[in-house]
Structure 1
């Protein structure tokens, strides 16, 4: 959703009049939350792109035999205040990455297949009904 779409929706909400002020207030709050989530997502994508670019540059520098290929990655991490400073922090980071790798390995395993519901279960799973208009 673009900024102008957010503005259009806000203008539409502001133009509404009547007894549904509570609903309009909820809609405005939800729109604010959605806009903040989109902003956070854009920020995270920008940080990710910076780290990805630094990682690729590091690998490329290593491939050509650069004497200090980690320069790009160190620079990007230091900009974000994420450069490890002491031995204890280094050990914690290495422990965290091992735990994260183990969790990812668990997530990538296929879950046990569920038994398929019988035809009777599928028929009785719910009743179709229409909402009044």
Structure 2
């Protein structure tokens, strides 16, 4: 569920007195969404574990002097269609350099913040209604 959908649900619940049938329908919908999210999380965790295992095996193979240490990582990337071709390689390297630069600046203290009163409002707001 998107954040706006949660906002829509909250607005609907506070706007009118709840009817039991609507609340049951909402509860079923939320439980279905939670189940889908748990399944998606489990899949993502398994992909992460496979990638981490391949990365560790690659480093271990390099340390042990294996003649082709990237085999494990290349296999895992190819398995998911993520092995970059020559055209994508330069863009991926540029993205990696930019990401490293941004991560390096995360530890730096932030500059002074301007007060909210000095700026005009960023958003005037929009009223929402429950879809459906």
**Same fold by TM (over 0.5)?**
yes
Q: SS state of the match for residue 84, structure 2?
A: coil
Residue pairs, 1:40-79, within 5 angstroms: 40-79=40-79
- Say whether 1:31 aligns with 2:31: yes
Structure of higher RCO (CA pairs closer than 8 Å, 6+ residues apart):
2
- Say whether 1:102 aligns with 2:101: yes
Change (3 A) 1:26 1:46: same
Residues in 2 aligned to 1:111 and 1:36: alpha-carbon distance in whole angstroms? 38
Question: What is the TM-score when the length of structure 1 is the normalising length?
Answer: 0.64
Residues in 2 aligned to 1:111 and 1:31: alpha-carbon distance in whole angstroms? 40
Larger Rg: 1
Change (3 A) 1:89 1:38: same
**Which runs of 4 or more aligned residues in structure 1 lie more than 4 Å from their structure 2 counterparts after TM superposition?**
110-114
